[in-house]
Amino acid sequence: MKTNAITFNGLGSQLGNTAAKIFDFVTETVKENRDDLDELEVAVHEQMNSGKKLGSRATTPKLPSAGKTANVTFNGIQTEVALGNINFGGPNFGDDDSDSD
């Protein structure tokens, strides 16, 4: 960023000077915090290489304990699907709203 700002805007330009200040600030901050950053790197490395599996996020959802279910077969695969608390037989159940005769 610093190099590009100076190259394309000129040494001593406002953008070049700002980029140099940002670069110097970040460089100094990293130097001052090197020990803490190294500890974080080690912790991340250990966590990534611990061999522990945290579990798949793509698990089969559990069916709710209440409500109705239906057995569904799609492309030869049968599964049970939770329908929730569907109320069959309500006040308008069975009304024919179609426009056909």
What pLDDT shows up at residue 26? 94
Angle at which helix 2-9 crosses helix 14-32, to 10 degrees, equals: 170
What pLDDT shows up at residue 1? 86
More confident residue, 92 or 72: 72
Q: Which two tokens stand for residue 37?
A: 């950053």
What pLDDT digit, counting tens, does each position of 20-74 carry?
A: 999 999 999 999 999 999 999 999 999 888 876 555 566 666 655 556 777 888 7
What pLDDT shows up at residue 33? 92
More confident residue, 91 or 42: 42
Q: Which two tokens stand for residue 59?
A: 């698990």
Mean pLDDT of 91-99: 55
pTM of structure: 0.43
What pLDDT shows up at residue 13? 93
What pLDDT shows up at residue 65? 58
Highest mean pLDDT among 7-11, 76-80, 84-88: 7-11
